[in-house]
Structure 1
Amino acid sequence: MGQQEKVATSLAGAVSEEISASLAPVDAELERRYPGDPGTRQPVHTVYVPGDAFAADTIRSWGDQALAALDEHAPDAASFAAVLGLSDELAEPVYSRVRAKLEREPIEDLRVDFEDGYGPRPDAEEDATAARAARLISEAYENSTAAPYMGIRMKCMEAAVRDRGIRTLDVFLTGLVEAGGLPEGLVLTLPKVTYPEQVTAFVRLLEAFEKVHGLEAGRLGFEIQIETSQSILATDGTATVARMIQAAEGRATGLHYGTFDYSACLGVSAAYQASDHPAADHAKAVMQVAAAGTGVRVSDGSTNVLPVGPTAKVHDAWRLHYGLTRRALARAYYQGWDMHPGHIPTRYAAVFAFYREGFEQAAGRLARYANRAGGDVMDEPATAKALSGYLLRGLDCGALDIAEVARLSGLTRADLEAFAAPRRGDLTASGK
C-alpha cells in the first residue's frame, strides 16, 4: 500500500443537488423518449401477401416453394455456395441451416396486405377478406402453424381511403378478439404516412378500440411505413420521421422503408429504383438516426427482381438479393421485405453467413470484456452491447446455437441479454 492520498473538495454538496434538480426534467425526458431497444426478437424479414391470396397454408407453401427452388437451381451446398460466393468453410453450415429453416420456420413475419398488394375492392369483399384473415391468423396461432409475427397492412390515413382502412382494421381486430384474443405476435402496419398528425390519429383509433374491448392501454402497437419524401423532411426543414415516432406515444415498433414508392416520389427512374440507390441510403440514414435509442426498429425495403425462370436468371436474382441483404446488414438494417418464395433462401443465406462468419470473433471479444482479460482491442460497455446484440440476433434467427456461443464465450443467454440492455449510466460512465 502506498501513501494514502488526501482528498479535498471545494464545492458544497448543495451545488450538486441544485444541478441535479435543474436537470431532473431532462433526465425524465431521456427516459421517456429514449428507453433503448426493447430486447425482444426482431424478425429478419417481412413477407407481404395480398389479402385475397392469403390462405391457411401460405407459410408452409412458401417454405415448400423455396425448398423446390433450391432443389432445382442449387441442390447442394457446393452449388449454392458457388452462386453466392460463400467460402468453403461457410458453404455447408449455411446451406444446411437454410434448408432446416425453410422446413421449420420459413417465414418469420407475415403481413396480410390490404393496401397496394390488394387494391380497391367492393366494401363487402374487403370486409369478408379482413374477417377471413382474422380467422386464419387466430387458427394459425392456436394450432402452432403461425409465423412468430403476423398481422395486416391496412390502407393509409389519407382522405380517399381513410374510412376503408379504419373499417378493415376494425373488422380484423374485432375478429381476433372474438376468436379468442389478440395474439402476442400481432403486428399492424400503417402505410404512406406523410404527417405526424396521421400517426396521432391512428393512436386515437387504437385507443378507442382498446377501450371498447377493455384491453390494456397501449396493447396495440404499429409500424410506420416511410414511403414519401415528406416523411423524411418536412416543409420547415425538420425530420418528419422523428416527429412521427413521438406522435406514436410509445406505440411505434418499427419504421419500414418503402423502396419503390419512396423512389418514385423523388422521381427516380424505374430502372434505378433499388434499396442501394443514394436516395434510399439517405432516407434510411435519417430513419436510423431518428429511431436510435427510442426502441423503434428500422427495416430495409425489398427488391422487385424475382428469382424465376431458367437457372441462370434465378442465379442472377439470387446474387442480387443476397448482395443487397448483406449490404443492409452491414449498415445495421437487420430486417427487410421479401416479395417472393424464391427470395427467402437467399435472405436466410445472407443472414446466416453474416452471423456465422463473425460470431467466433464476437464471442471471444465479449468473453475477454466480461473477464477483463484485455486483448488487442479495447472494448467498453457500448461495444459489449453491440457484440451481445449481434450474438442474440444470430441465435434468434437460427444462424447460431447457444451451445456454440456458450463454448466460445462462457456466457449464457441471460448473460448476453444483460450485456445487450445495460442501464444508461453504464454506457456513459466511461465518458465516451
Structure 2
Amino acid sequence: MEPQGGLGLDLVRIAEELDGRLEAADAALARQYPGVRPGRQPVHTVYVPADLFHADIVASYAEEALSTVKEHESLLLELLDGDEALLELVREKLGREPIEDLRIDFEDGYGPRPDEEEDRHVQSAAQGLRTAIADGTAPPGHGIRFKSFEAPTRRRGLRTLALFVEALTDGGPLPDGFVVTLPKVTSVDQVEALVQTALRVESALGLTEGALRFEIQIETPQSILGPDGTALVARMIHASGGRCTGLHYGTYDYSAFCGIAAAHQSLEHPVADHAKAVMQAAAAGTGVRLSDGSTNLLPVGSPEQVREGWSNHLRLVRRSLERGYYQGWDLHPAQLPTRFAATFAFYRGGSGAATARLRNYVERQASGVLDEPATARALADFLLRGLDCGALAAPEVEEAAGLDAAALASLAHRTTTKEG
C-alpha cells in the first residue's frame, strides 16, 4: 500500500504493529473493566439480625415505617419543605416496595452465639427466606452476611455460609438476587479463599459454577492501603473471578480502626471520604457497585429524637448521592421514609436539567452547556436510576428527554434487565 499521511509513513503497517503490540492490553482491559453491571441497583440494603428475621419481614417493616410516618407526619412534611407530593410518593413506595435489598445478618448485628444456636437460626432464616421467595414477598435483592474469614471467626463464618446455602437451595438452584457479604476483609488472600470456598460449595450442592456471588465489605484500613502502599481493594475486585458484585463501606469498624473517637465516627468524616474515594476509583468500570454504610442515629423515641434522626439521615443520604454512592445501609424501619424521601428528591430535583441536557445532546441543539459523550452517559444513567427506584415516571421522562428507557439504557451503556 502507498505511504499515507503525507510524511512518508506507512500508517496501515504502523497500525497493524500497534494492534499486535497492544492486543494483550486490549484483552486485559475488556476482561478487567467490562463496564456497568446490567440491571437495577438497589437504593439501600436493610440489615436484619438473623434471630429477628422471618418470612413476613418486608410486610412488618412496611407497617412500622408507615406507622412512624403517620405518627410524625407533620414533622416529616416540615423536613421535606412541605412537599406533599414527595410525601405521597414515599407512602406509595413504603406500601409497594419498602425493602429493595435485604441482608440477614450473622455478623456484628447478630453477635457471637453458641454453635447450636447459630445453626438453628441458619436453618430458620433460610426457611423463612425460601418461604418469602415462594410467596413473592421477598425483596428483589437478598442474602446473608456471615462472620469474617479472620482467624477467630473463620470456621463459624464458613459453617454458616455453607449451611445457609444448602438449606436455601434444598437441591435446587440459588434464587435470583441472592448474594453474600464478606466482612472485615484484611487481605486479597481472603477474597481468593472465598472464591475457592464458593467453588467447593457449588460443586457439593450441584450449583452452576459462578452462581454464588459476593460483596466485599470495606471496614478495615488494610483493605484500602496494603503494607506495600497499594490500594488492596482494587486487587480484591480482580481476585474475585467476576463473583464480586459490590463494595460496601463499613462506617464504624473502619472509623474505629483508624482511631476516630466514637463521637466523631460518621459517614462524612474525612477518613470515610478517603476510603470511599479509593473504593470508587477501584470499582470504576469493573461492574462492581458501591454502597455507603449506615448511620446509627435512629429516628426513634421522642419527637425531638425522631427529628434529629430523620434530619441527619436525610442529609447523609443526599450527601452520598451527590458523591456517586447510590446505595446505603438502613438499620431500622423508621429510616426507610427518609431513605426514599432523600432519594426521590435527588432524582426529581435533577430530572429537569438532566432531560433538557440529554435532549440537547441527542438532537445536537445549541445550548449553554457543551456536554461530551461521557456526560451523556451519566445523564442517561441518572434518569434510569430515578426510574428504577420509582422517583420518576417513564412517561414524564420520555416526554421531556425524547428518549424511552431502552434508548436511555443504550446511551448509558447498560441494559434494562433486572438483576439483584
Fold shared, TM-score > 0.5 on shorter chain: yes
CA distance in 2, matches of 1:374, 1:389: 22
TM-score by length of 1: 0.92
Identify the residue that residue 284 of structure 1 maps to in structure 2: 276
Identify the residue that residue 252 of structure 1 maps to in structure 2: 244
- More RCO (CA 8 Å, sep 6+): 2
Identify the residue that residue 429 of structure 1 maps to in structure 2: none
The SS at the match of 1:256 is: strand
Q: 2:108 aligns with which of 96, 101, 116?
A: 116
Q: 2:220 aligns with which of 224, 228, 232?
A: 228
Kindly indicate whether the alpha-carbon contact (under 8 Å) linking 1:135 and 1:179 is maintained by their aligned counterparts in 2: no
Identify the residue that residue 79 of structure 2 maps to in structure 1: 83
Q: 1:185 aligns with which of 177, 180, 193?
A: 177
Correspondence 1:314-393 to 2 at 5 A:
314-393=306-385
Give per-residue Cα distances to partners, 1:5-56, cap 9 Å, x unaligned: x975632221110011000011011001111111221111111111101012
Correspondence 1:7-46 to 2 at 5 A:
8=6, 10-12=8-10, 13-46=12-45
Identify the residue that residue 126 of structure 1 maps to in structure 2: 118
Alignment root-mean-square deviation, CA: 1.6
CA distance in 2, matches of 1:290, 1:252: 13
Identify the residue that residue 188 of structure 2 maps to in structure 1: 196
Identify the residue that residue 426 of structure 1 maps to in structure 2: none
- Give 1:10's aligned amino acid: G
Where does structure 1 lack aligned partners over 5 or more consecutive residues?
Answer: 1-5, 424-432
Kindly indicate whether the alpha-carbon contact (under 8 Å) linking 2:292 and 2:328 is maintained by their aligned counterparts in 1: yes
- Give 1:260's aligned amino acid: Y
Identify the residue that residue 428 of structure 1 maps to in structure 2: none
- Give 2:394's aligned amino acid: I
CA distance in 2, matches of 1:56, 1:140: 5
Residues 193 and 8 (structure 1 numbering): CA distance in 2 closer, same or farther, change over 3 Å? Answer: same
Kindly indicate whether the alpha-carbon contact (under 8 Å) linking 2:174 and 2:207 is maintained by their aligned counterparts in 1: no
Instruction: Confirm whether residue 401 of structure 1 aligns to residue 403 of structure 2.
Output: no
Q: 2:290 aligns with which of 273, 298, 301?
A: 298
Identify the residue that residue 237 of structure 1 maps to in structure 2: 229
Identify the residue that residue 148 of structure 1 maps to in structure 2: 140
The SS at the match of 2:216 is: strand
CA distance in 2, matches of 1:33, 1:252: 12
Q: Following TM superposition, by how much is the alpha carbon of 1:212 offset from its aligned partner in structure 2, in angstroms? A: 2.2
Identify the residue that residue 415 of structure 1 maps to in structure 2: 407
Identify the residue that residue 65 of structure 1 maps to in structure 2: 64
Kindly indicate whether the alpha-carbon contact (under 8 Å) linking 2:171 and 2:205 is maintained by their aligned counterparts in 1: no
Kindly indicate whether the alpha-carbon contact (under 8 Å) linking 1:368 and 1:375 is maintained by their aligned counterparts in 2: yes
Q: How many residues end up aligned between the 2 structures?
A: 411
Kindly indicate whether the alpha-carbon contact (under 8 Å) linking 1:369 and 1:384 is maintained by their aligned counterparts in 2: yes
Kindly indicate whether the alpha-carbon contact (under 8 Å) linking 1:45 and 1:108 is maintained by their aligned counterparts in 2: yes
Q: Following TM superposition, by how much is the alpha carbon of 1:217 offset from its aligned partner in structure 2, in angstroms? A: 2.1
Q: Following TM superposition, by how much is the alpha carbon of 1:305 offset from its aligned partner in structure 2, in angstroms? A: 0.5
Q: 1:107 aligns with which of 75, 81, 99?
A: 99
- Give 1:269's aligned amino acid: A
Identify the residue that residue 158 of structure 1 maps to in structure 2: 150
Kindly indicate whether the alpha-carbon contact (under 8 Å) linking 1:138 and 1:180 is maintained by their aligned counterparts in 2: no
Give per-residue Cα distances to partners, 1:282-303, cap 9 Å, x unaligned: 1101111111111111111111
Identify the residue that residue 418 of structure 2 maps to in structure 1: none
Where does structure 2 lack aligned partners over 5 or more consecutive residues?
Answer: 416-420
Residues 345 and 179 (structure 1 numbering): CA distance in 2 closer, same or farther, change over 3 Å? Answer: farther
Correspondence 1:259-274 to 2 at 5 A:
259-274=251-266
Q: Following TM superposition, by how much is the alpha carbon of 1:180 offset from its aligned partner in structure 2, in angstroms? A: 4.1
Kindly indicate whether the alpha-carbon contact (under 8 Å) linking 2:359 and 2:401 is maintained by their aligned counterparts in 1: yes
Kindly indicate whether the alpha-carbon contact (under 8 Å) linking 2:294 and 2:331 is maintained by their aligned counterparts in 1: yes
Between stretches 374-383 and 250-259, larger displacement belongs to 374-383
The share of aligned pairs that are identical, in percent, is: 54
Between stretches 147-156 and 206-215, larger displacement belongs to 206-215
CA distance in 2, matches of 1:68, 1:374: 50
Kindly indicate whether the alpha-carbon contact (under 8 Å) linking 1:385 and 1:422 is maintained by their aligned counterparts in 2: no
The SS at the match of 2:51 is: coil
Kindly indicate whether the alpha-carbon contact (under 8 Å) linking 1:51 and 1:129 is maintained by their aligned counterparts in 2: yes
Give per-residue Cα distances to partners, 1:97-133, cap 9 Å, x unaligned: 1000110111111100000111111212211211221
Kindly indicate whether the alpha-carbon contact (under 8 Å) linking 2:310 and 2:338 is maintained by their aligned counterparts in 1: yes
The SS at the match of 1:321 is: helix
Kindly indicate whether the alpha-carbon contact (under 8 Å) linking 2:380 and 2:412 is maintained by their aligned counterparts in 1: yes
- Give 1:226's aligned amino acid: I
